[in-house]
Structure 1
Amino acid sequence: MATRPALCAWLRIACFLAALGAAPGALAFDAGQLASQEIPAARLVGHGSFSRLGFHLYDAELFSGAERVSANWSAHPLVLDLRYARSFSSGTLVQRSLMEMTKLKVATDAQRQHWGEALARILPDVSAGQHLTGVFRPGDGTRFFSDGKLIGQIAGDAFGRAFFAIWLDPRTSAPDLRAELISDAR
C-alpha cells in the first residue's frame, strides 16, 4: 500500500502532466486578442468560410474599431484573420493575392510586382489550422502575423487598400464571404 506522502507526490506529478497536456489548448491563438492589441476597441465585425470547387480553404474573421464597415472600409483600421483548412505554399498565397489584385485593377503592374516581392519575403508556407492575420492601419501600413507572431510589414496605405480589397471590395471574387465579413451587407 502506498504511503500518504508517496500518494501526494504521485498526484502532484499527475496534475503536472495533465496541465502539460492542456497547455497547447491554453496557448491556442486568439484572433480577437490580437485585434484588440493592434486596434483599440476592436470588435468582431463578421466571419465566414471560403470554399472553392467543394473544398474548404479557410475561415475568415474581420475586426474593426469602427462601428460599421461599409463602402468606406479602407478609411478604418482593420484586422483580417484567416485560419487555413489546408496547406498552401508561400508562392501560392502570393500568386493568388496578386491575381486577385489584378482582377480588381488595383494599382499598377509595377506596384503589384513590388508588393509581390515583399509578400514573398513575408508570407510563410501554411498548414491546416494555421492563422495568417493582416492588420491595416491607415497611415501606418499593413502588418502580418502568423499564429500571432509578427512576420513582416509593408508600408503605405496603397498596399493595405489593395490587399484588403481582395475580400472587401464590392467587386471581389468572393461576394458571399464579403457579405459575411462586413456589417452593411447583412
Structure 2
Amino acid sequence: MTPLPVETGRGEVRGQGIRRRLVLFLFALLLPLVAHAVTPGEMLADPALEARARAITMELRCLVCQNQSIDDSDASLAKDLRVLVREKLKEGMSDAEVREYIHSRYGDFVLLRPPVKPGTALLWSAPLIALLAGAAALWMAARRRSGFAAAPAKALSEEERARLKALGASDPDKPTS
C-alpha cells in the first residue's frame, strides 16, 4: 500500500523539490561535456575539412592555457590559431603542412606530443625514470624491513647474566611473557 502524497504549504508534493534540484544539479554537472570552445562562426561548411581542422587543433597546445589544446581553449590566441588552421586547410595545405607551418612559428612547445629528439629525451623518459625510482625505493624499504625482522637475538654473555642476577632478575635466559 503506497502512502498518499502529502502537499506542502507551497503547493508542491513532498519530494518533488528534491528531485527538481537533483535534475538541475545533474544538468549543470553535464553541461560542460557538450560545450565547445569552437564557435559556429569558426566552423567550416565542408564536414570533411572541419573534421581535419578539429583533428589538427586537438594536437596543438594553447600557448596561453598551456594544459589545453587550442580546440578546447577559450583564449583569444587559441581562437586565432583555430581560424589560421582552417584558413590554411581552405588554401589546400595538407594536415602535415599545416602542423609544420604552426610548428615552424611556435616551436616544439605548441605540440601536445612533441617529437622524440635529444632535446626532449628527458621529457619522454621522465615517467619511466620516476616509475623505476619508485620501484627501487619500495624494494629497498621492503628489504631493509625484512632484514630487521630476520636478525636473530644474541645470547647473553656470562658477565651480562651476572649483572642481571645482581639487579634482581630471576632467570635471564627464561623468556618473559
Higher RCO, 1 vs 2 (CA within 8 Å, ≥6 residues apart)? 1
Q: Please say whether Structure 1 and Structure 2 have the same fold, judged by a TM-score greater than 0.5.
A: no
The structure having more radius of gyration, on CA atoms, is 2
More helix by share: 2
TM-score computed with the length of structure 1 as normaliser: 0.30
More strand by share: 1
